[in-house]
Structure 1
Amino acid sequence: MESNKPLFGIAATPTDKPAGAATDAAAEGADNLKCATGQDVAGVAVRPIEETAPVCQCLTQPIEHTATKDMGHEERLHIFVGFNNECPRYYPGSVIKYISYFGGWPGGQGQLISDTMWAAASAWNAQNIGVRFQWTTNPAEATFEVVYGGDKPGFAAMAFFPKPRGGNQVLVYSASFTPAGLARMQNSFQHELGHIMGLRHEFADTETAPAVLLGARNSLSIMGYAVARTIQSTDVQWTRVFYSLPNGTPIIDATHSFPIHDYTP
């Protein structure tokens, strides 16, 4: 991974008790901001939001989903995996290391980003999914880096699906630094880390890139955009199943069959 990034400077390490990080139960609403997975601007304090406040959505799957279903009120099938005719994941038992930086963030929010990403990673780690996240200060050993992506109207962040190391980033866009975006930042980062483990959006059945279904229904999945989303027991259950299957195992639903493909983080 490239280490010469004067804009970002030295790595930011999490504090023992994340200051200002949103809680796992931060409210989610429904608006047009999506997960996409510079000059500094004035910082905005973290504060509680109403359940109807705008939700920050994700660009990790850069393909529009159809608008034929109410994402906020209708249950979705869960979990979806698969991309590019395979189900990519990191080898079970892997430690997925990442680095974030002090510099380059609106309002000098590098420590907040570091704390909130580690809180999100720790929430997944506590579930014993089959892989673990760990921060590092060494860019050479990082699977991905967390950096500011600038302004991307309508989107809050973008991650990636499991793939070989080299240039992988979680881009955090300016919408994440609004009051609503800050208040739900930890949930958004949990969502992006779900993509990095190989999970698709909860509504992947409405996206044009095919996915395969593994699991049961849950409209509050962390991989959806529902009100009050957070990591659900079904997210944990079926991600554990996904990571328990042997490499090469085909995951089959009524429409597609994609084999699991393990990558080294």
Structure 2
Amino acid sequence: MFKPDCSTQSPGIDVALRVQVGWIDEVPRWRLGMILKYVICEESFRDKTAVTLCRTNLQAAIAKYAAIPVRFEEVSRNSPAHFRVVYMDQPLEGSSTTLARAFLPNNEAAEQRTLHVYGLAFSDKYIQTQISILAHEVGHILGLRHEFASWKEAEWSVTYGRPNNHSIMNYPPVHVTEQDIRELQSFYFDEMTALYGRPVRIYAPCESVYPRVNNLGSVMPLFAALSALIWPRSVPDVSKPHAYVEVP
């Protein structure tokens, strides 16, 4: 059994695997085999071109996790879904250098499951890396914490396996690695009910029809602190509930 490195790990695993998981007092994940339905709130985007780009890049990001036993399916705008994708020019609060923001598995109110994509992700500087940006956020949605969460973030986490400096959950995110996939598969197939004294929570929220939003977006998700994708040049201020740093 691997020893905790303040990230997630599973008893009994004897291969070199690692994911960084856990949040406050639990280890959240989706029900095995679940299909996560999502809607893209097209009305929140600046134009159809941005909608098409985001849709295409999100599909490409999701495809990188095809081997994971949790699926994603886009549904039509007014169909019931488990989460939504919303565009905003900038976050309602915090840093204007945030690229995107997602959530961890949860069973809270529907608005707590929102993938926000911000205007900066469509800028000339980052548009070519938007697939990697979204792949990082999909990692959060599947339950992954930042690779550096154990030593840079205040919220509790535990390590599942060994470090992966090239993980998609590191900064800057580049590729979903084979190790990322092996770790995540192992995490979902493990039948553990607790991890280092923290319960493993299985979530399967009800579907909801999301109301219309505008360019101001919506209420910030409860678990947003973990999933603000910022390309840091310094260590975040972990004394605050949301850690923001400057884009280089």
TM-score by length of 1: 0.64
1:223 Cα deviation after fit: 0.7
In the TM superposition, what are the counterparts of 1:66-85 in structure 2 within 5 Å?
Answer: 78-85=18-25
Q: For residue 251 of structure 1, what is the aligned residue in structure 2?
A: 195
Do structure 1's residue 236 and structure 2's residue 181 form an aligned pair? yes
C-alpha RMSD over aligned residues: 1.8
Q: Structure 2: how far apart are the matches of 1:234 and 1:141?
A: 34
User: What secondary structure is seen at the aligned counterpart in 1 of 2:42?
Assistant: coil
Contact 2:45 2:88 in 1 (8 A): no
How many pairs are equivalent? 181
1:102 Cα deviation after fit: 3.0
Aligned letter for 2:68? I
CA displacement 1:67-119 (0-9 Å, x = unmatched): xxxxxxxxxx9411001211111101100111113333235411111111111
Do structure 1's residue 87 and structure 2's residue 33 form an aligned pair? no
Runs of 5+ in structure 1 lacking a partner? 1-76
CA displacement 1:148-173 (0-9 Å, x = unmatched): 12213110010000012611210111
Measured at CA, do residues 180 and 107 of structure 1 come closer, stay the same or move farther in structure 2, by a change above 3 Å? farther
Q: For residue 178 of structure 1, what is the aligned residue in structure 2?
A: 123
Q: For residue 52 of structure 2, what is the aligned residue in structure 1?
A: 111
Mean CA deviation greater in 197-206 or 115-124: 115-124
Do structure 1's residue 156 and structure 2's residue 99 form an aligned pair? yes
Q: Structure 2: how far apart are the matches of 1:78 and 1:154?
A: 29
CA displacement 1:35-86 (0-9 Å, x = unmatched): xxxxxxxxxxxxxxxxxxxxxxxxxxxxxxxxxxxxxxxxxx9411001211
Q: Structure 1: how far apart are the matches of 2:79 and 2:21?
A: 29
User: What secondary structure is seen at the aligned counterpart in 2 of 1:209?
Assistant: coil
CA displacement 1:186-211 (0-9 Å, x = unmatched): 11111111111110000011210010
1:121 Cα deviation after fit: 1.1
Q: For residue 208 of structure 1, what is the aligned residue in structure 2?
A: 154
Q: Structure 2: how far apart are the matches of 1:236 and 1:123?
A: 9
CA displacement 1:8-58 (0-9 Å, x = unmatched): xxxxxxxxxxxxxxxxxxxxxxxxxxxxxxxxxxxxxxxxxxxxxxxxxxx
Aligned letter for 1:83? W
Q: For residue 224 of structure 1, what is the aligned residue in structure 2?
A: 170
Q: For residue 240 of structure 2, what is the aligned residue in structure 1?
A: none
Q: For residue 83 of structure 2, what is the aligned residue in structure 1?
A: 144
Measured at CA, do residues 250 and 159 of structure 1 come closer, stay the same or move farther in structure 2, by a change above 3 Å? same
Q: For residue 260 of structure 1, what is the aligned residue in structure 2?
A: 200
Contact 2:40 2:77 in 1 (8 A): no
Q: For residue 69 of structure 2, what is the aligned residue in structure 1?
A: 130
